[in-house]
Amino acid sequence: MEALVRANQHHAPSYGNDNYTASAIRKFREHFGTDAEVYFVYNGTGANVLGLHALTRSYNAILCSSFAHIQVDESTAPERILGCKLVTIPAPDGKLTVEAIEEKIQQIGDPHHAQAKVISVSQCTEYGTVYTPDELHAIATLARKHNLYLHMDGSRIANAAVSLDAPFRAFTTDVGVDVLSFGGTKNGMMFGEAVIILNPAVAADFPFIRKQGMQLHSKGRFIGAQFDALLTDNLWRQNALHANRMAKLLEAQLREIDGVTITQPVQANGVFARFPAEVIEPLQQEAYFYEWDEKAHEVRLMCSFDTTEQEIRSFASRLQALLA
């Protein structure tokens, strides 16, 4: 916010040719390597779809988890903008495995069928789990073997880095990710995400893809300034550390409550749990959360950079009270 106030004080060149943007890009390159091409867009759907645009032609298929944000939460933007088919892969804990992916790489060369070209993973996954660098490296190796690209939806990438206690590049640049969506909004920004192109061979036409995709901001400095602040003094890390810690605290509190089952490993800032059906609605009055699987009464509880310990404890108490 302070970064925005500062960015608001002077005139600046438009469309991202400003100093804030230049500084933010420099900082991104410290994390991802000097070859990284960095482009700012408005939102997560824009980042994912346009990043995938750089990797596909319209007769391609994109392999992803059946829970992937691009499959479940982006309307038909991937199909409509890319023309591609999303081929979904079961991933009970949110993570794709080499075996499950390989089963879907079929009929390459046969024009009757959508041609697999990209594997898209989410880091953290939609189930709040986190791929290890080794797991991602194995997937990238599979991708290379079949002449596919590896895309990463990193809308919560900061939470993954904190969870792995590893630098960003250890599980992106170094393992062979080609294109990455780097989340800003979920890490505290008002608006703005970054598409980071790690494979220089697919970077050339992104400026055209972004403009055509209606994601080029005229006053680009307002995204640049926010990312610049986020990457300064490890602000991103503090935000994500806090959110992950709150999730751990929530998990601990929930484990002590009879009738509640934690359904996924808590590795980042999300907790998945089964609640008795009757408490869900009254509890949502306390603090809104998403009922992930209505049949199983499985809920998704997300902690963010500004969730407080007090909120966690009050949520757990309220749940206790409802169950009593």
Using CB under 8 A as the binding rule, the residues of this chain from 229 to 258 that contact its own copies are none
CB of 113 to its own copies, least distance (A): 7
Q: Could you give the C-alpha distances from 54 to 15, 48, 81, 97, 180, in angstroms and in order?
A: 20, 10, 12, 24, 11
CB closer to its own copies, 82 vs 198: 82
Q: Could you give the C-alpha distances from 279 to 261, 284, 291, 324, in angstroms and in order?
A: 14, 9, 12, 11
Position among 34, 288, 290, 324 found at the interface with its own copies (CB under 8 A): 288
Q: How far apart are CA 272 and CA 298, in angstroms?
A: 7
If one asks whether residue 75 binds its own copies (CB under 8 A), the answer comes out as yes
Using CB under 8 A as the binding rule, the residues of this chain from 157 to 196 that contact its own copies are 185, 190-191
CB closer to its own copies, 111 vs 233: 111
CA 222, chain centre distance (Å) = 21
Cis peptide before 64 (omega within 30 of 0): no
CB closer to its own copies, 23 vs 185: 185
CB closer to its own copies, 76 vs 310: 76
Using CB under 8 A as the binding rule, the residues of this chain from 44 to 63 that contact its own copies are 44-46, 49, 57-61
If one asks whether residue 290 binds its own copies (CB under 8 A), the answer comes out as no
Q: Please work out the total of residues on this chain that contact its own copies, with binding judged by CB under 8 A.
A: 56
CB of 196 to its own copies, least distance (A): 18
What is the side-by-side strand order in the sheet with 261-262?
261-262, 270-274, 298-302, 290-293
Interface mask toward its own copies for 84-103; x: CB under 8 A: xxx-----------------
- CB burial string 37-74: b at 16+ within 10 A, e below: bbbbbbbbbbbbbbbbbbbbeeebbbbbbebbbbbeeb
Contact stretch for its own copies (CB under 8 A) within 2-10, 127-135, 144-152, 268-276: 2-10
Q: Which of 67, 55, 56, 8 is nearest to 222 (CA)?
A: 8
| Cβ contact 222:5 at 8 Å | no
CB closer to its own copies, 71 vs 172: 71
Position among 133, 176, 213, 265 found at the interface with its own copies (CB under 8 A): 213
Contact stretch for its own copies (CB under 8 A) within 1-9, 146-154, 247-255, 272-280: 1-9
| Cβ contact 249:312 at 8 Å | yes
CB of 1 to its own copies, least distance (A): 5
CB of 15 to its own copies, least distance (A): 8
84-88 long-range Cβ contacts below 8 angstroms, 24+ apart? 84/52, 84/56, 84/58, 84/59, 84/60, 84/114, 84/117, 85/60, 85/61, 85/114, 86/61, 86/62, 87/61, 87/62, 87/63, 87/114, 87/116, 88/64
Q: Which of 146, 154, 87, 104 is nearest to 126 (CA)?
A: 154
Position among 72, 277, 296, 321 found at the interface with its own copies (CB under 8 A): 72
Which residue's entry shows tokens 């992937």?
68
CB of 61 to its own copies, least distance (A): 7
If one asks whether residue 43 binds its own copies (CB under 8 A), the answer comes out as yes
Using CB under 8 A as the binding rule, the residues of this chain from 11 to 40 that contact its own copies are 11, 13
CB of 72 to its own copies, least distance (A): 7
Residues in contact with its own copies by CB under 8 A are 1, 4-5, 8, 11, 13, 42-46, 49, 57-61, 72-77, 79-86, 111-115, 185, 190-191, 205, 207-219, 222, 288, 306
